[in-house]
Amino acid sequence: MQLDHRASPKALAAAIAASASARKWQNRGFSCDLMCDTDPNEANAGTASRELNDMAPEFLTLFKTSQIASGMVVSADVRGLRVAVANIGGTYYAFDDTCTHEQCSLSEQGELAHTTITCTCHNAEFDIRTGKVLAPPAVIPLKVFRTRIDGDLLQIEI
Ligand code: FES
């Protein structure tokens, strides 16, 4: 099975599932015309597994750590998404900058108190560690991102 490394993870998963399905039908004596270019006895599962492992989480650099003072929230555009990063005493938390209530910017309209950010537009509160809604009117949690420090660079997992 040939996997296109440029394909999205979703597309790769679909291709692998389709290939597994095709092998199942071959094994039952049916022919197929979908991704049956490999010997079903070949260790395709191992190949697919190795290729998926090549798709290790991708970390993107957003800021230098020196650009985010403790207690501060900053934001950056990441592939069409506005991501906010907060520095809480040297621990960095990354989350969707857009409030899930009515889309106010949390880096601009948010007030940070330890790991709780309050959207001052209508006072929804979120836990920036988990994205969990702590107070309405928002009901949908924020998306959060893993962070890591590489030297003096703050990176988030995409
Ligand atoms: S937009 Fe954030 S609470 Fe309404």
How far, in Å, is the centroid of ligand 1 from the Cα of 76? 20
Same domain for 37 and 64, yes or no, is no
Choice from 107, 108, 121, 126 to test ligand 1 binding pocket (greatest atom count within 8 A of CB): 121
How far, in Å, is the centroid of ligand 1 from the Cα of 137? 7
3 within a domain of the structure (yes/no): no
Output the CA–CA distances (angstroms, integers) from residue 15 to 2, 18, 25, 26, 52, in the order listed.
9, 5, 15, 16, 11
- pTM tops 0.85: no
Closest ligand 1 atom, residue 99 Cα: 2
Same domain for 80 and 13, yes or no, is no
* Residue 34: predicted pLDDT: 35
How far, in Å, is the centroid of ligand 1 from the Cα of 130? 18
Does the CB atom of residue 111 touch ligand 1 within 6 A? no
Same domain for 100 and 142, yes or no, is yes
Per-residue pLDDT of the chain (158 residues; tens, 9 = 90+): 343 444 444 443 444 333 333 333 333 333 333 333 333 444 444 444 445 556 778 999 999 999 999 999 999 999 899 999 999 999 999 999 999 999 999 999 999 999 999 999 999 999 999 999 999 999 999 999 999 999 999 999 98
Question: Which of 53, 71, 86 delimits the end of a domain?
Answer: 53
40 within a domain of the structure (yes/no): yes
* Residue 56: predicted pLDDT: 76
Does the CB atom of residue 120 touch ligand 1 within 6 A? no
Does the CB atom of residue 101 touch ligand 1 within 6 A? yes
Domain span at 144:
59-157
Ligand 1, atom 3: closest residue by C-alpha: 122
Does the CB atom of residue 117 touch ligand 1 within 6 A? no
Same domain for 94 and 18, yes or no, is no
Does the CB atom of residue 119 touch ligand 1 within 6 A? yes
* Residue 53: predicted pLDDT: 56
